[in-house]
A and B are shown apart, each in its own frame.
Chain A
């Protein structure tokens, strides 16, 4: 069982609230989303593991059991080409859950006309293997969902 932690402060709103059907329809996988606090902060690793992919706007951490969790910082933020994001870790690094990975400011993303909502997705997971734990206000590092 993997306990997936909140990568950012905010409110857990569920994937259905993500304004992108790729996420809201569960096409990428099950999980939830956080409407982040509009303040500068660090997005952290949701699980212990290795940073398999690190983009400024998104990252994937893979645990020792092979389970991968995607954190996507805002919607359509790939278009920013890294502007407004600062990497605090390197692809391939081993990280502990709660360790900072990317510094960003959701308020700046929103001011640029994009949603700062952060999908947190269990990759290659069956929907029934994920149990939502948090709904509503969450602090970074709080348990967000469990992945059996």
Chain B
């Protein structure tokens, strides 16, 4: 299981555009990918409902995990989206 810990830098947190972009990138992958608050329960990163429900604010850290073909590349892409200001 590969993972990335990233701090969400967008002013709106992981909502609106960052959330939609994040979920779209996750959804196009064939492998499972989850996102969690640090120490929290992971949720399906391909679900906009779940990601909005996490309610991640600016400055909070999330953990993104994936396993399988292309996991590292996918996590790099998702980490870049989540950490973009």
Residues of B within 8 A of A (CB): 12, 15-17, 19-21, 24, 47-49, 52-53, 55
Q: Which of A21-29, A94-102, A107-115, A131-139 contacts B (4 or more CB under 8 A)?
A: A21-29
Given A22-B20, A27-B20, A78-B15, 12 other A-B contacts at CB below 8 A?
A22-B17, A27-B24, A28-B19, A60-B52, A60-B53, A62-B49, A78-B12, A123-B47, A123-B48, A123-B49, A123-B52, A124-B48
Whether B12 and A53, one on each chain, are in contact in the complex, defined by CB atoms closer than 8 angstroms, is no
Q: Is residue A7 within 8 Å, beta carbon to beta carbon, of the partner chain?
A: no
- Cα–Cα distance between A124 and B20 once the two chains are bound (Å): 11
Q: Are B53 and A52 in contact (CB under 8 A)?
A: yes
> Which residues of chain A are near B24, meaning CB under 8 Å?
27
In the complex, A68 has a CB within 8 A of chain B: yes
Cβ-defined contact, A78 with B52, below 8 A: no
Q: C-beta contact mask, A13-48 vs B, less than 8 Å → 1, else 0?
A: 000000000100001110000000000000000000
Contact between B21 and A27, CB atoms less than 8 A apart: yes
Separation of A80 and B52 alpha carbons in the complex (Å): 19
